[in-house]
A and B are shown apart, each in its own frame.
Chain A
Amino acid sequence: MSEKSSEEQLLEFLYACPVGLIECDLTGDIVMMNPHAMQHLLPLAGQRDAGNLFAALEHHAPELRSLVAAYQPTMGRICDGHRIFVDLGPGRRTQAPRVLACTIVKLGADRLMVTLSEISQQVVQEERLRQADTWFATLLDGVNEYAALAVDRAGVITAANPCFTRQTGFDHVAALGRDLAEVLQSDNTGGDLRLGEQIEIAGRDGWHLQEGWQARANGERYWCQRLVVAQSETDTSPYTGFSVILRDVPRREAAAEDVRRLLTRDHLTGAANRRHFSQAMEREQAHWRELRQSLSLIVLDLDHFKSVNDTYGHPMGDLLLCRVAEVCATLLPPRGIFARLGGEEFGALLPRYDREQALGLAEQMRERIAGILLDTPNGVLTATASLGCATLEEAGGSIDALIKLADERLYAAKQAGRNQVHRLTADAA
């Protein structure tokens, strides 16, 4: 042991360290890194330069570059356990989707220390715990208060218990023989799947659980946990029908809602933030793969926004951004998400919307934005926007290609004179 030099000991220690350690400058150029860091970085880098942290992670965590750029102090913790979701889609089912945690500390004007570690299993555990938690938390509240139904493979109700009447207001006897999806109008749920979609997934995976708004017979809505389980006569036979269980759960507490808002909303406009939008895109892409329903994206950019800030001042510019977010959000369909993607750039993600529907909505957004009038000390401020639409089908199922296509069309709308929705020449004819 004593023969070993201290340098050798130190190297041995760093070679064996099961956490990735990286030192780089503010542009991301790596000065030193240990093998564990390279184990993660090189497969992510693809054709890009693995010797630059931001280049290597450009595809999976582009926000790191801007997080670092936006950090003003000369020293301090820029991010702590920032999660990098490596796999966009559901990935191979035998493995947990890969998630890395990244911590960046700024040590000087041009010096960053970075750690990378894999937390895939931990994230899977969190997800399981969260699901179990939502389900079992209410078990304690009232074990009898769940509405239980049986439906056949076509979704027709074959049995329902009296609690179904107490919870939803629909008569459980009269419901027999009716289509469950017709009885339970849950079309106005937030980001959730329709009952028919849940049944489709349960038919494949055995079960599906979700939370969302549900309407009672009197039109009132309540927060409902809905579990759909496939039933079969024997272990080997294919399923013959489904059990559906509904629980009326009190809405999450206000404090938790605040935290959720903080994490998912743009601070200025109240629109969804980029991270939330990208998570929603991933979720909807997975639904798209499973259910093959259309999914559309609108991107919009305010015209000549810089001159608004220059002429009317930043507070007025900010006010305009808020109004744009406000008018566009009111046009959104039930599962749509409206987000601020950049300075004056917004996006709307539209599940179940085909291209024509998206173009129609984009045109409505354009009109509403053009109708905004803001009184300012320098006179009335008006605005226009240019918009581009694309569908996931057109993009071959790739989120990156979807964004790129919509951006290209937005740019074409700008080139064609602004204040318009880009249409393909075939549409215009």
Chain B
Amino acid sequence: MTIEEACFEAISLRDLETMSAAEQDALPFGVVGFGADTIVQRYNATEARMSGLDPSTVLGVPFFDAVAQCMNNFMIAQRFEDEPRIDDIVPYVLTLRMRPTKVRLKLLAEPDMPRRYVLIER
């Protein structure tokens, strides 16, 4: 899959897993990949630009507790606990750089894949 093909709607968890870090960085939307423990393993350059955070400070921290508390409710974080398989797009409001920002979130999880993803489109 080329980057041109990797549109927000169509991209799958498996597509993301086959991409290199540089390829993920080139995507036009934010990519955050994390384990079952919510520890961040992937944080692409687009997301770093939007949030104003350096990826090195985000990698290795629990995502919903330390970075994305605004998603730490039944609408997002709870779903990753309750649903082993998610492929859904939801409208949401984030606080990127502390400003309320309307976004679309894509939530991706599969039972046999160790990493889950939240994709953020402004």
Residues of chain A at the chain B interface (Cβ within 8 Å)? 4, 7-8, 11-12, 14-16, 18, 30-40, 42-43, 50-51
Residue B70, interface by CB 8 Å:
yes
Which residues of the other chain, B, contact A11 by a CB distance below 8 angstroms? 51-53, 97-98
Assembly CA distance A130 to B111 (angstroms): 46
Contact pick for A42, options B52, B73, B97, CB 8 Å: B73
Residues of chain B from 31 to 89 with CB closer than 8 A to chain A in the complex: 51-54, 57, 65-75
Q: Nearest chain-B residue to A31 (Cβ)?
A: B99
- Of the candidates A4, A30, A39, A51, the one whose C-beta lies within 8 Å of that of B70 is A39
Q: Could you tell me the distance between the alpha carbons of A30 and B67 in the complex, rounded to whole angstroms?
A: 20
Q: B53, B74, B93, B99 — which one has the most chain A CB atoms within 10 A of its CB?
A: B93
Pick 17 A–B contacts, CB within 8 A, sort by A.
A4-B57, A11-B52, A11-B53, A11-B98, A12-B57, A15-B68, A15-B69, A18-B69, A33-B95, A35-B69, A35-B71, A36-B70, A42-B92, A43-B75, A50-B100, A51-B93, A51-B100
Partner of A12, one of B53, B72, B99: B53
Which secondary structure dominates chain B's binding surface? mixed
Residues in B lying within 8 Å of A, measured CB to CB:
51-54, 57, 65-75, 92-95, 97-100
Question: Given A7, A18, A32, A43, which contacts B52 in the complex, CB threshold below 8 Å?
Answer: A7
Alpha-carbon separation in the docked complex, A312 to B73 (Å): 55
Q: Tell me if A38 and B99 are in contact (CB < 8 A).
A: no
Known: A4-B54, A35-B70, A35-B71. 6 other contacts (CB 8 A): A11-B51, A33-B100, A38-B69, A38-B95, A39-B72, A39-B73
Which chain B positions have C-beta within 8 A of A39? 69-73
List chain A residues, Cβ under 8 A from B97.
11
The answer for the CA separation of A16 and B72 in the assembled complex, in Å, is 12
CB closest residue in chain A, given B54: A8
Q: Is the CB of B73 within 8 A of A8?
A: no
**Whole-angstrom distance between the alpha carbons of A34 and B54 in the complex?**
18
- Best-surrounded residue of B52, B53, B99 (most CB of chain A within 10 A): B52
Smallest Cβ-Cβ distance to B92: which chain A residue: A42
Kindly state the separation between the CA atoms of A5 and B99 in the bound complex, as whole angstroms.
Answer: 19
